[in-house]
Structure 1
Amino acid sequence: MTETADIRKIHIVFDGQETPPLKIHQLFDSQKYDQLIAVTGEITADFINKYLSKFISIDVALSSHSTSELSADEMVTKVALTSALLSSANKEAAKLFSALTSDNQTNVLNNLFRVSIAPTQVIHSKFYLLSNSTTHDTRVILGSVDLDEASFDAHRNQFEEVLVFDNDVRLYQNLADHFKKDLRPVLKPFFTSNLVKAAQKQVEEGKKDQDSGKQSGKGPVILDNETTDKIAETDMVDLLKHDLQRDIDHNLVPEMITKSMRDITMDRSQAKEKIAKQVKQHDTIYTLQKEAVSPRAAKPKLKTREKITKQVQDALISGMSPQQRDAEKKYTTFLYDRPMERNIANNNSGLYVPNDTGTHPIPFGKIATISEIRDGLRSIDAVMKGYQQFVVDYDADYGKRFFEAILYSFTAPFLWEIRSKTSLNPEDGNDVPNFLILGATAGSGKSTLLRIINQLTWNTDRSLIDFGTIYPSQTPQKKAKTVEAMEHYMKLGSSYPVLLDEIEPYFFQQDQYSRHLIVDTMNELVNHPHPIAPLIGTTNYDSGFTMLRETARRTYYLQIDKVIDESQKGAANQYIFNVRKTLNNTLFKDFVMRMANLLEDDETPWRDFNSATGRLDFLAMTRQLFKNYYEMANLPLPDYFSETICDDFKESSRNRWAKLYLTQQDDFQYRQGDDSLLFDISKLNTFNGFTADSIEKYRNALPIELCVDGINGKRGKFVEIKAPEFFRWIGEHNPYEKETTVVNNDEQSTATVEEEKPKKKGFWARLFG
């Protein structure tokens, strides 16, 4: 049997001869050719930005995904028109346009780069025509590939055919004529006039600010949600009224297609068994088509534009309740990371924020003076001194948790980029968590820390979202809707972290909530890197906080379990109030410039693993930048500065099992044959003084690698644990450790075999010194 590695999945035939795989830039050679005509199934912004930017003229038609067993009329209504309407409703054109570089956006606005769709015809063709307007050289590419990098990925487990014909004039002319005479009449712009007008308006606003000296340098067009909502609404009306009527008038579709539109909602039961979200979207589009036609008439006609406009408006909001719309509006902080626009020489970090009036994006970031850097560090130190002065049993190690949270928040906008640079394979991406959770007791200052983070990065303390009030308390399915809102906040395209206060414990403990958001989001990030806002949240720690293992694997957890001295509460409040009045984000603006510079440097060592823990320190470069800050400001490195990431979830889990063993040793039964411990986990019930959910808390806290037979060792009534590994984990002497005879100088003595490692202190010794 042939090994998979020997199979050529990207099959390229060049002028009749099979050839080794060519790189994308060799196939779409912008140095040899300056014009491109294409019919393709997919086109991505990354592909355009990397490989097509240097073409002088580009004309692309997007093909459709046809469905079998459909009639000719259904190919129009259920494929072509539905796809076009869905594309508009999902703002696909605006998303593609916004992801283009500013130069490519300019090419679109100047009509040098055109993308088209066929709203009433299904195009299943794929071909690419390249030419040079000066030398008249031509290239024809036929095959299955699309204009995306995935089509050329030999490791994708997907076969692709690529046939290349250079200077075959007859073939080139035949396809060029076919595009012009047959395809062009059924096409309409993908980047509609409504989108172009909105983009042009933003460009003109930017030029005004640039001319008046308010900003420097040309930036990309980034359309806000309100603008793209309006574009979607108008485009859908144009599709149903103008474009459809035009094709009817030109006999491109039968006149009675309107009857098929009116009947489109019939026989939907089978399709409704598929993906729920897809069904909901299709139903909305189908209803729009049906209601766009006059009812009951033997020869239905399209309704007036005004009526269709009202129907589109109602359809776009019909899937959301007023409560859902209110919940969505709670997130208002936007910071866009655009690495393709990064220009360090021109002081452009690649981060953009909306201008004061929200009409266009402006660059974010500014190099600070040494004096400003020193002031920023002293402000952070003033915050830390507040915790040091007023928190009971504060020590430097505890203070590192607060400082770590600040370092994470500074790094947050770039985490998705750092993840792609540190990952050798997708699984590595989980080592750069998109979630920071501060587990804290009441009165520990966790909410204040969240506000301080907001001030240090955004210069305001009003971007916090209260988890419990995202939806009113009596809202049906409140838990599920709250998690949906969290996901919505994270996926708005901004890379500024979502700041959530008082996340309720159920979110972490119930699989349908934490797994859906944390695990699925991280899987999306590691497989398809793009900006998804990190989440920084607080939750109550009551000596019983727990997370599912796969959730903990993808979360950075910091435990803040010491409280502010009750007798000094008034003084503490006054102190932190005075400190917060001095906070600003000047240091953060400088930081993003320096971090952007590191991201552009191919020599930056992102894969920094701690020798003691073996874990990736994804904040290593942030630590280095802050070390540089202290050196520039001529300030000593503070004792709360951590040299590596903390691991509080594992530590709290270890403490939980250590306490359990030390207080209930008789319940751990030793099995000599397997050198293991059996523990009846059902004893952790309310009758024995534990909480109702203690069984799952302890089960979640026990690492799989300590269990006999892996995950199966954690399940059921009896937990079976590897004795040597368990005692090393909790840091206690193993009473069942085997003894061996050691012969030395003809004298026989008995000694205990121990590992050649520094002996860990016991649990009580660590706790009390």
Structure 2
Amino acid sequence: MTDSDLKKIHIVFNGQDTPPLKISQLFDANKFNRMTAVTGNITADFINQYLSRFIKVEVALSTPENHEVKTGEDVITKVALTDALLVAANKKPAKIFEALTSDNQVNVLNNLFQVAIAPTQAIHSRFYLLSNSETHDTRVILGSLNLDNDSFDSQRNQYEEILVFDNDIRLFQNLDSHYKNDIKPVLRPFFTENLLKAAQNQIDESLKDNKGATNAVVILDNEVTDQIAAADMTDLISHDIQKQIDENKIPAMITKAMRDITTNRSQDKEEAERQIQQHDTIYTLQKTAVSPRAAKPKLKSREKIFKQVQDALISGMTPQQRSAEKKYTTFLYDRPMERNLVNNNSGLYVPNDTGTHPIPFGKVATISQIRDGLKSIDAIMKGYQQYVVDYNDDYGKRFYEAILYSFTAPFLWEIRAKASLNPEDGNDIPNFLILGATAGSGKSTLLRIINQLTWNTDRSLIDFGTIYPTETPQKKAKTVDAIEHYMKLGSSYPVLMDEIEPYFFQQDQYSRHLVVDTMNELVNNPHAIAPLIGTTNYDSGFTMLRETARRTYYLQIDKVIDEQQKGEANKYIYNVRQTLNNTLFKDFVMRMASLLEDDETPWRAFDEKTGKLDFLANTRKLFRDYYQMADMEIPPYFADEICDDFKESSRNRWAKLYLTQEEDFKYRQQDHSLLFDISKLNTFNGFTADSIEKYRNALPIELCVDGINGKRGKFVEIKANEFFKWIGERNPYADEKDMDNNETITAKPAKKSSESLAREPKRGFWARLFG
């Protein structure tokens, strides 16, 4: 039996096996209009897609299981209360509320959609009660499912049991009574009064500023959600615990268990450091919330607890960390569920000028404005054309490609979801654009131009080396953590990072942590994580780990501005930048939003030469349309395909190594392979200290005998035929017939003299793509 033959989502309908039902059939809003649920998880996407049409919904969230607790008091302090405090501290209610459609946000505010948690009891129950107040039809659903799409994903390799009972009145009434009498009394709102008050205030302000509008979306800023989290955590301890003590729902001496919660504290130290710190903070909060020496300890006053909560929320961060977090200030929120093209809403939102509420971003431009925008880009390109040494149109495509990527960046996570047939495909739509450039090539200026063309400012750049001061302990790790924080603030505007240091790409603990893990997160759980557009100093030794390169779009800008014309070039580009604005970008987001809403839009376009997915194909189409509308010719620097500069750079590096040190490549006839002693790439022989890893990383695994094992150790073993095709050189160990027909390789011919080799014509390196 194969994996595909296994029935992982097992549905029993009124006692009979049934084929898998669609989620909309199971939670049938046509037949039923009310739902009560006790479930383990609920997501905003699930609510938006499947629960919006119910007129009344009540959901109780259960508690994660913890197999380490030993007593009933541990269940209250170390499971229920700790989980409730973590939910508040991590702002989960605000995040889910913000991700709801504006209509569903209103339903929550009007008490038509209620979510609750149990802060002092562990709930492991799972049941769903659907009813119709007019027809009196009922449905009971029992099983392991949650209110999220993962529970219904048959490819997730998890089993789900779903038992459905229609119009079983006795079962329905039994569970309905159990919910009302036993579960509901220990619940408290998940969407708290503090959150709903802040949301309502923002809606009122938004409607006041936009007279005639019927609704408004809520997106709360960090300062507001910080205050909500502090107030919610304070209420949990000072109000909910005391209330349930007074009502005899939990023992009065639970306060002693709270005070002793850190005694003999031992947890699995292999958990993520952040999770451990969070638990320690919550435990300390519980302990310090109780009088320290009383035989029958009591809770401190609400004011003291609130102060302790505020101190705890910032105790894990140094002033340097707080300063580093504030360096990212550009926010552009992508909300596809709010997209309404009829009303000129692209689904993108920005904070208003005062930062009190979000407003739609995007505006259709006139033909004249589009023409002006294209002329501005052309003026930029003419500057590089005039002042860059050895400029040609193929080189210019790198600058243009960077602009196309930056325009597309806010929608990359949506495009990735639409273009990916499986998670692995998602890596072909990289969330990282790196501009590898030499000093004096204009890379920082290009980053500022990108900022102006998309955000109408040049002040959003972050300098990699100054995120933390030089003397900061563990500066490298903290810098990467800060970048990850910037990318995961919920904004989809790219993080613009200047002068990324080479160690980031070459050391596994940094590039893998950020690039690989972030891409894995994106392909398995599509959501808005801001792309990163960064520059790094290119020299002949620049390299990336293979896993990083696989998930990064790398453009090489290795030609410099003419030193003798530098003053004139600076003056020219300064004048051009005075004319730049983001009018074209605002129009672009409207057109891209239209493509994303059109089910007929193709997203899987592959380049004929390389076979790679061109994730910018629709961006190219929109820009071609722009030139047609503006009655302008498509310029020669227009990028028609994805560039593959990292692979080209790697190929060039090994080609030079072979041509200059041919004698070090030893042919092994029985395996038709080349052995190379990679340890020779040392400082004694004129290489840099890290050359071994640079060359090892640049060698594709598919060229190595035994795959990854062929790259390891002192001797690298390379497939001869494939290697020579890759570097674009004739294989000296095979005659022409053998090479053409891929026949058995003959013995090595007599080695030609260097003089005769020099006389042989050589094909241009750029013309030998894949041989």
Structure 2 length-normalised TM: 0.95
Question: Residues 297, 153 of structure 1: CA spacing in aligned structure 2 closer, same or farther, 3 A cutoff?
Answer: same
Once residues 76 and 479 of structure 1 are traced to their aligned partners in structure 2, the CA distance between those partners, rounded to angstroms, is: 40
Alignment match, 1:686: 683
From 723, 727, 736, the counterpart of 2:724: 727
Asked if 1:31 is matched to 2:30, the reply is yes
Given the alignment of the two structures, is residue 329 of structure 1 paired with residue 331 of structure 2, yes or no? no
Consecutive unaligned residues of structure 2, counting only runs of 5 or more, are 740-748, 750-760
Determine the C-alpha separation between the residues in 2 that align with 1:273 and 1:609: 43
The answer to whether residue 250 in structure 2 is matched with residue 253 in structure 1 is yes
For 1:326 and 1:741, the matched residues in 2 are separated by 64
**Contact kept in structure 1, 2:207 and 2:216, CA below 8 Å:** no
Q: Which residue of 2 aligns with 1:522?
A: 519
Give the Cα separation in 2 of the matches to 1:395 and 1:739.
35
| 2:670 counterpart SS class | coil
Which amino acid is the alignment partner of residue 59 of structure 1?
A: E
Q: Is the 8 A contact 2:728 2:768 kept in 1?
A: no
Equivalent in the alignment of 1:174: 174
Per the alignment, residue 662 of structure 1 pairs with 659
Give the corresponding residue for 2:313: 316
Once residues 721 and 66 of structure 1 are traced to their aligned partners in structure 2, the CA distance between those partners, rounded to angstroms, is 51
| Residues 363-414 of structure 1: CA deviation (Å, up to 9, x unaligned) | 1000000000000000000000000001011000000000000000000000
Paired letter, 1:446? K
Report the equivalent of 2:758. Answer: none
Q: Which amino acid in the other structure matches residue 638 of structure 1? A: P
Query: Which of 408, 413, 418 is matched with 1:416 structurally?
Result: 413
Distance 1:269 1:45 in 2: 35
Whether the 8 Å CA contact 1:89–1:236 is kept in 2: the answer is yes
Aligned to 1:279: 276
Residue 597 of structure 1 aligns to a residue whose secondary structure is: helix
1:504 aligns with 2:501: yes
Would the aligned equivalents of 2:108 and 2:114 in 1 still touch at CA under 8 Å? yes
Distance of 1:125 and 1:134 partners within structure 2: 28
Residues 765/33 of structure 1: CA separation in 2 closer, same or farther (3 Å cut): closer
User: For residues 418-497 of structure 1, what are the structure 2 equivalents within 5 Å?
Assistant: 418-497=415-494
Q: Does 1:228 align with 2:222?
A: no
Shift of 1:70: 2.0
AA of the residue aligned to 1:111: N
What letter corresponds to residue 499 of structure 1 in structure 2?
A: L
Counterpart selection for 2:670 from 655, 668, 673: 673
In structure 1, the residue matched to 2:744 is none
**Structure 2: distance between partners of 1:292 and 1:760:** 79
Query: Residue 116 of structure 2 aligns with which residue?
Result: 116
Equivalent residue number for residue 761 of structure 1: 763
CA-CA distance at 1:275 after TM superposition: 3.6
Look up the match of 1:641: 638
**SS of residue in 1 equivalent to 2:674:** strand
**Distance in 2 between residues matched to 1:8 and 1:726, nearest whole Å:** 46
* Residue number among 648, 652, 669 corresponding to 2:649 in the alignment: 652
Please state if 1:58 is matched with 2:73: no
Number of aligned residue pairs: give it.
Answer: 748
The separation in 1 between residues aligned to 2:719 and 2:764, in whole angstroms, is 19
Report SS of the residue matched to 2:45: helix
CA contact (8 A) 1:219 1:341 kept: no
1:588 aligns with 585
More deviation, 465-474/178-187: 178-187
User: What secondary structure sits across from 2:353 in the alignment?
Assistant: coil
Partners of 2:18 and 2:415 lie apart in 1 by 36
Displacement of 1:689: 1.5
- What is the Cα deviation at residue 271 of structure 1? 3.8
2:572 corresponding residue in structure 1? 575
Q: Distance in 2 between matches of 1:290 and 1:765?
A: 71
The AA in structure 2 aligned to 1:168 is D
Q: Secondary structure at the match of 2:667?
A: strand
Corresponding residue of 2:153: 153
**Residue of structure 2 equivalent to 1:191:** 191
| Secondary structure of the structure 1 residue equivalent to 2:434 | strand
User: Using a 3 Å threshold, how does the CA distance of structure 1 residues 760 and 146 change in structure 2: closer, same or farther?
Assistant: farther
Q: Distance in 1 between matches of 2:766 and 2:150?
A: 55
Structure 2 residue identity aligned to 1:619: L
Match of 1:289 among 280, 286, 289: 286
Q: What is the rounded CA distance, in whole Å, between the counterparts of 1:663 and 1:217 in structure 2? A: 72
Gaps spanning 5+ residues in structure 1: where? 743-751, 753-758
Alignment of 1:117-136 (within 5 A): 117-136=117-136
Counterpart of 1:46? 45
Could you say if the C-alpha distance between residues 63 and 458 of structure 1 is closer, same or farther in structure 2, counting changes exceeding 3 Å?
A: same
1: CA distance between counterparts of 2:733 and 2:557? 36
The residue type paired with residue 291 of structure 2 is: S
Q: CA deviation at 1:667?
A: 1.5
Secondary structure at 1:673 match in 2: helix
Looking at structure 1, the residues matched to 648 and 639 of structure 2 have their Cα atoms a distance apart, in angstroms, of 16
Code of the aligned partner of 1:62: L
Describe the shift of the 1:361–1:171 C-alpha distance in structure 2 as closer, same or farther (beyond 3 A).
same
Contact 1:658-1:763 at 8 Å conserved across structures: no
Distance 1:43 1:251, change over 3 A: same
Task: Answer yes or no: is the 8 Å Cα contact 2:11–2:163 preserved in 1.
Answer: yes
CA distance in 1, matches of 2:170, 2:689: 79
Q: Deviations over 1:569-588 (max 9, x none)?
A: 11111100100000000000
Deviation of residue 276 (structure 1)?
2.7
C-alpha distance in 2 between matches for 1:599 and 1:265: 52
CA distance in 2, matches of 1:197, 1:312: 20
Provide the C-alpha distance between the structure 1 equivalents of 2:236 and 2:584, rounded to a whole number of angstroms: 49
**Comparing 181-190 and 578-587, the one that deviates more:** 181-190
What CA deviation, in whole Å up to 9, does each residue of 1:340-376 have, x standing for no partner?
Answer: 1111111111100001111111110000000000000
Distance of 1:361 and 1:565 partners within structure 2: 45
Deviations 1:100-152 (Å, cap 9, x if unpaired)?
11110000000000001111111111111111111111111111111111111
Aligned pairs for 1:627-638 within 5 A: 627-638=624-635
CA 1:717–1:762: 2 relative to 1, 3 Å: farther
Q: CA deviation at 1:741?
A: 9.8
Deviation for aligned residue 1:765: 8.4
- Cα drift, residue 708 of structure 1: 1.3
Partner of 2:363: 366
Q: Structure 2 counterpart of 1:667, which letter?
A: D
Name 1:621's counterpart in structure 2.
618
Question: What SS does the aligned partner of 1:615 have?
Answer: coil
Query: 1:283-340 CA distances to partner (integer Å, 9 max, x unpaired)?
Result: 1000000000001100000001111011000100011000000000000000000111
Query: What secondary structure, in the 3-state scheme, does the structure 2 residue paired with 1:133 have?
Result: coil
Q: Which amino acid counterpart does residue 525 of structure 2 have in structure 1?
A: H
Output the CA distance in 2 between the equivalents of 1:760 and 1:95.
60
User: Who is 2:85 aligned against?
Assistant: 85
Retained in 2: the 8 A contact 1:732–1:762?
no
Which runs of structure 1 show a deviation greater than 4 angstroms over 4 or more consecutive aligned residues?
A: 739-742, 764-767
Conserved? CA contact 1:435–1:554, under 8 Å: yes
| Aligned residue in 2 for 1:749 | none
SS of match in other structure, 2:210:
helix
Q: 1:247 to 1:699 in 2, by over 3 A?
A: same
Higher mean C-alpha displacement, 170-179 vs 531-540: 170-179
Quote the Cα distance in structure 1 between the aligned partners of 2:680 and 2:34.
74
Going from structure 1 to structure 2, the CA distance change for 1:529 and 1:20 (only over 3 Å counts) comes to same
Over 3 Å counting, the alpha-carbon distance change for 1:505 and 1:93 in structure 2 is: same
Given the two structures, how large is their TM-score scaled by the length of structure 1?
0.95
Match of 2:372, SS? helix
Give yes or no for the alignment of 1:242 onto 2:244: no
Offset, 1:75:
0.8
More deviation, 680-689/254-263: 680-689
Whether contact under 8 Å (2:33, 2:54) holds in the other structure is yes
Matched AA of 1:257: I
For 1:740 and 1:15, the matched residues in 2 are separated by 72
